[in-house]
Amino acid sequence: MITPIETAWEPELWRIELSQALRSANDLLSYVQLSNADFPDSSTLSAVEADFPVLVPRSFADRMTPGKPADPLLRQVLARGEESRTVDGLSLDPLNETSDAAIPAPGLIKKYHGRALLITTSGCAVHCRYCFRRHFPYEEHRPTALAGALDAIRQDPTLSEVILSGGDPLLLDDRRLTELLHNLAAIPHIRRIRIHTRIPVVLPTRITSMLLQTLANSAVPIIMVIHTNHPQELDHNTARALRLLSRAVRFLFNQAVLLNGINDSADVQIALCERLFDQQVLPYYLHMPDAVVGTHHFLLEDSAASVIYAKMQAGLPGFLVPKLVREIAGEASKSTLALA
């Protein structure tokens, strides 16, 4: 079989797409042929939106089923009144990311041995309602502080890996990304760079030939961890983006979050892992959602998660089973769930 040669997207298309993204619950709802009346609990929506605005690229909304309030993609991004309900046991910063101990320099979070996370930008191409960084004080960790973070990385020879995070690092323009990768790769103890990004899935037009060159030319291997929660997110455009990326980086992995009412079924998870494989990606982590203020309706019990996970193990080859983990503040790594 001859595979058609795929080409990257035109350079400025993604910026246009981003500028035309849906930016309010009302716009999103009318785009998918729904109205507020389909969501009885949305009375306090304006407060919710002021706190964390809706942001959805149209190409992502195009993958939703019109007229379906329970659509799993819509539910990930639609602001809901229930986000403003007060629930015991939830925190603004459940992972202690704003405690000084975890921050060697502004913009750099070090929790684990050998790797540190660099906050490269505060922006994302989509706003996920379950996001654990929705309350993160990005203002205090401005990308302008990157020089200090780079110095801290230089001075810590125990670091062998830097993880570009955000926000979404692929929102950096190509020049800044190239410069950042170059500066990191020039540090002798840095052996690899990891990029955590949801952009190949939510804004595939960002995969331009300049970006691919930047990644392919890196002096140290690049690992890209994308973020997909549901097989319906993966379409012909993501297939094209991921095929192009698979030639430019060393490995492509996925992390997903197990979300009540969105992907909390073994069938959906198995379909996701299979579809990821079809699109060149291996499952890496399946995260239990973090207990962040405003996200209680996405949380599910460990017992429910372990039932789903047992079925995934029975239904997939070992290499397509992600690790089921949660993050516990203060632990030396992500913690695997004790299975029933």
- Using CB under 6 A, pick the residue from 63, 111, 129, 230 that binds ligand PLP: 111
Rank residues 54 and 117 by Cβ distance to ligand PLP and give the closer one.
117
Q: To 10 degrees, the CA torsion angle through 122, 63, 323, 295?
A: 60
Rank residues 58 and 189 by Cβ distance to ligand PLP and give the closer one.
189
162 has which bridge partners?
Answer: 116, 193
Rank residues 59 and 122 by Cβ distance to ligand PLP and give the closer one.
122
Number of residues that bind ligand PLP (CB under 6 A): 8
Residue 63 CA to residue 336 CA, distance in Å, equals: 32
CB 271 within 8 A of CB 231: yes
| Amino acid letter for position 121 | T
- Using CB under 6 A, pick the residue from 103, 131, 177, 224 that binds ligand SF4: 131
Question: Site map for ligand SF4, 188-207, x if CB under 6 A?
Answer: ----------x---------
Rank residues 14 and 285 by Cβ distance to ligand PLP and give the closer one.
285
Tell me how far, at minimum, the Cβ of 139 lies from ligand PLP, in Å: 19
Decide: is 128 part of the binding site for ligand PLP (CB under 6 A): no
Number of residues that bind ligand SF4 (CB under 6 A): 9
Tell me how far, at minimum, the Cβ of 124 lies from ligand SF4, in Å: 3
Residue 65 CA to residue 5 CA, distance in Å, equals: 30
Rg, the chain, Cα only: 19
CB 237 within 8 A of CB 59: yes
**How many CA atoms lie less than 13 Å away from 326 in the CB half-sphere?**
18
Supply 219's token pair: 């002096």
Supply 27's token pair: 């716009």
Q: To 10 degrees, the CA torsion angle through 133, 136, 140, 142?
A: 30
Q: Which partner from the list ligand PLP, ligand SF4, none does 111 bind, CB cut-off 5 to 8 Å by kind?
A: ligand PLP
Q: Which partner from the list ligand PLP, ligand SF4, none does 333 bind, CB cut-off 5 to 8 Å by kind?
A: ligand PLP
- Using CB under 6 A, pick the residue from 168, 233, 264, 290 that binds ligand SF4: 168
Decide: is 141 part of the binding site for ligand SF4 (CB under 6 A): no
* DSSP 3-state of 307: helix
Tell me how far, at minimum, the Cβ of 311 lies from ligand SF4, in Å: 25
Q: Which partner from the list ligand SF4, ligand PLP, none does 63 bind, CB cut-off 5 to 8 Å by kind?
A: none
Residue 259 CA to residue 287 CA, distance in Å, equals: 9
Determine how β-strand 108-112 pairs with β-strand 115-119.
antiparallel
Site for ligand PLP in 91-110 (CB under 6 A): 109
Alpha helices in the chain (DSSP H): 13-19, 25-31, 45-51, 58-61, 72-77, 146-154, 174-185, 199-202, 209-216, 236-248, 266-278, 302-315
Q: Which partner from the list ligand SF4, ligand PLP, none does 117 bind, CB cut-off 5 to 8 Å by kind?
A: ligand PLP
Site for ligand SF4 in 226-255 (CB under 6 A): 227
Q: Which partner from the list ligand PLP, ligand SF4, none does 249 bind, CB cut-off 5 to 8 Å by kind?
A: none
Question: How remote is the C-alpha of 217 from its chain's centroid?
Answer: 24
Decide: is 128 part of the binding site for ligand SF4 (CB under 6 A): yes
14 vs 39, 53, 223, 255, CA distance in Å? 31, 20, 22, 23
| Amino acid letter for position 334 | K
Rank residues 136 and 190 by Cβ distance to ligand SF4 and give the closer one.
136
Q: Which partner from the list ligand PLP, ligand SF4, none does 112 bind, CB cut-off 5 to 8 Å by kind?
A: ligand PLP
- Using CB under 6 A, pick the residue from 15, 23, 68, 115 that binds ligand PLP: 115
CB 76 within 8 A of CB 82: no
Residues forming the site for ligand SF4 (CB under 6 A) = 124, 126-128, 131, 133, 168, 198, 227
Chain positions contacting ligand PLP, by CB under 6 A:
109, 111-112, 115, 117, 163, 333-334
